[in-house]
Structures are given as C-alpha cells and as structure tokens.
Amino acid sequence: MKKLVFLILFLPLVAIGQFNKKSSKKSNKNSLMLPGETHFKNLKQLTFGGENAEAYWSFDDSKLIFQATNENWGQSCDQIYIIDTNNYSLNTQKPKMVSLGLGRTTCSYFMPGDSTIIYASTHLEDARCPHVPERRVNGKYVWPIYSSYDIFIADLNGKIVNRITNHEGYDAEATVSPMGDKIVFTSIRSGDLELYTCDIDGSNIQQVTDQLGYDGGAFFSPDGKKLVFRASRPKTSEEIKEYQDLLSNGLVQPTKMEIYTCNVDGSDLRQVTDLGNANWSPFFHPSGEKIIFCSNHSSIMGFPFNLYMVDIDGNNLEQITFDEKFASFPVFSNDGKKIVFSSNRNNGGTRNTNVFIADWIE
C-alpha cells in the first residue's frame, strides 16, 4: 500500500512506532531542524500525536491528504484526513476525515481537479479494523498484505463515487500522474505483487512489472513518463521459498528492498540503488533527475531510517535528514518549493510519528 501502511510500501502505520522510543535532539531550542539538514527551511510540525504518514499534496498545493491512527480523533485504525497546508492547529483540533471510518484505509491521493480522492480500504469485507499479525515471523520483521484491500474514489465529503478495482486479493498503493491521465497501483492478481497502471477512470488496466518480488510504492515522474518504486528481488532458492511462503499467508518481509525506475509501460527497467537493507518510499525530485527516498542502509540494528537523495543513475548519494529513529514518506509539492515527510522527532519520548512541512532549499 505504498503503500500498508504500508511503506507503502506503502508501510502500515502500526509498524512505524517501533522506531520511536525517544525523540530526536534538536539543533537549538527554537528549531525542529537537526544538524546537517541544509535542504530545509522554515520546518514546521503539522500533526501532534498518533501515527501520521503518507501525506500527499493536492494538485494546486493548497491541501494535504494523509492517513493516521489517533485515538484522540476517535479512530483506532488508519483513516484518511485532509488539512490545509497552513493548518498548524492539529494539536488542539481534529482534521476532516474523508474516509468512511470503517475497516483500515491506506495510500490516499488527490485526483485531478482536487474535488475527489483515491484510496484503498478493507471495509467491504469487514467494517472492523483487520487483525494485525505479529510483525516478526521466526524472528524476522514482516508486513501484512490484506487481501481485502480495494481501491476507491470518493468526494471530499467521504462519499464513494467509484470503485477502481474489483479483483480478488490485494489492490492498493495507488498514486496519480501529475499529468492527470494515469493511476499506478500494486496488485497481487497475477499471483505476485506487481505494478499496474490504468486510466484515470479505472479502465485500460496494464501490467507494468513481472519479476518475482514485491513491487510497490510507485510514483510518476514530474512529466508522467516514468515510474519510481521499491522492490524486493529474492534470488536464491531459499529466499524465493521464504518470499512465496510468506506471501501465501498474506505477509511480506520488507527488510531487503532497493529503488527502481522504469517507463510507464515497464520498459527500460533500471535498478537505481544497491545499498542493502531497506530502501523504499521513493519520490522524484522536481527536476526529474534525482530521487529522494527512505533508507536504513547504514544502520546496524535496523534503525534509524533517514531520507537520502540520489541521481537517477544511482550516483551522488546524499543524506537529507539526520533523525535518530525514523524519517520517511518524503513528497515534494507540485511547484517544487516545499516538501512534507513523516518523522519521530519532537515526539516527547513517545512512539508518535508526525507529519512535517518545510521549504525546500537546493
């Protein structure tokens, strides 16, 4: 689910909390920025408590849509919310919920015109929040891949106006082209987790990837011609068996992933990173020549996760954030002037993950 929350990978928000045992140090008392974060200016905190992630911009950059689990908002399962980008009052106010409040939701995105949204939900199978499996199987970290996820389009009052997918098994992690003509999503309809595209109304579904492994969390390039995504690629017979056994039980192991790009039709597939560990949540730089992403490749014990940027050919790797536990889900505004991301910083020693917004400095 780019995209459960999935990283996703879409990453399930319930999984983020483990990276949250203490808050990051600030560079000074009046700043949320950490030493070395030279690409940020005017960094501000948008959410204050709970698990908040996958914040995406409206086409006109005036709003953000995101998913959150916040008991103070009356929800114990990920739901979808919208706020204005200049709304800094969520420490005292509840944002507008635009999902149904049923099941678990993930991977929301604005549709062209900003009057409708797209997201995945499990509500058709069960109105209750789905069971969250143990995150470690045989000592290894895993994510759930709920077969009950389907993709829907709703208006800004939460009314569902279209169902995009109607296929058995996992369908989620949908994002929309900046050109407003295509949707990309992850589906298990082939028996493996692959990328698919469709037209903006859900028609003309085309399979994009076809290699064994979890392909997900895809985004379009600024010109709409390319995709960037994260993927696992089991190689040995032992890795393949483990991947397939977990998948048959609705699970994936996201600890070994790299960043890939391809054309929208799947041609010119290229591996961008070869860093090891988990590299995910990629997004194109406004120039289309770089990719920002989340990685724990330099971590020994699995964390911290931080943001990095790299040229599309894999050169010139640069660290962007310097969190002590977790930073991910970086997304540039459509005009390229701002960035949003989720972080464990300034959480008062809790397990809260919040959304932050900053001016982007080249």
Alpha-carbon gap, residue 360 to 272, rounded angstroms: 23
Alpha-carbon gap, residue 33 to 24, rounded angstroms: 10
Q: Which one is predicted more confidently, 228 or 7?
A: 228
- pLDDT the model gives residue 301: 79
Alpha-carbon gap, residue 357 to 62, rounded angstroms: 13
Per-residue CA distances from 183 to 40, 118, 152 (Å):
30, 10, 12
Q: Is the pLDDT at 14 greater than 70, yes or no?
A: no
86-89, long-range: CB within 8 Å, 24+ apart, which pairs? 87/46, 88/44, 88/45, 88/46
- pLDDT the model gives residue 158: 95
Q: Which one is predicted more confidently, 12 or 171?
A: 171
Does the domain at residues 13-360 carry the CATH identifier 3.40.50.300?
Answer: no
DSSP 352: -
Q: Are 336 and 362 in contact (CB under 8 A)?
A: no
Strand partners, 260: 229, 271
| 25: number of Cβ within 10 Å | 11
> Could you tell me what percent of the chain has a pLDDT over 70?
91
For the chain, what percentages of helix, strand and coil (3-state, to nearest 5) are there? 5, 40, 55
Per-residue CA distances from 346 to 66, 78, 130, 183 (Å):
19, 22, 30, 35
Whether the model clears a pTM of 0.95, i.e. scores above it, the answer is no
Q: Is the pLDDT at 93 greater than 80, yes or no?
A: yes
The model's pLDDT over 304-325, given as tens digits with 9 standing for 90+, comes to 999 999 999 999 999 999 999 9
- pLDDT the model gives residue 30: 38
Mean confidence (pLDDT) of the chain: 91
Q: Is the pLDDT at 12 greater than 60, yes or no?
A: no
98: which residues sit within 8 A by CB, 6+ positions away? 65, 80, 81, 82, 108, 117, 154, 156, 157, 158
Confidence class of residue 215 from pLDDT cuts 50, 70 and 90?
A: very high
Confidence class of residue 260 from pLDDT cuts 50, 70 and 90?
A: very high
Confidence class of residue 131 from pLDDT cuts 50, 70 and 90?
A: confident
Q: Reduced to 3 states, what is the DSSP secondary structure of residue 106?
A: strand
Classify each residue of 130-154 as buried b or exposed e, where b means 16 or more C-beta atoms within 10 Å of its C-beta.
Answer: beeeeeeeeeeebbbbbebbbbbbb
Summarize the confidence of residues 187-196 as an average pLDDT.
98
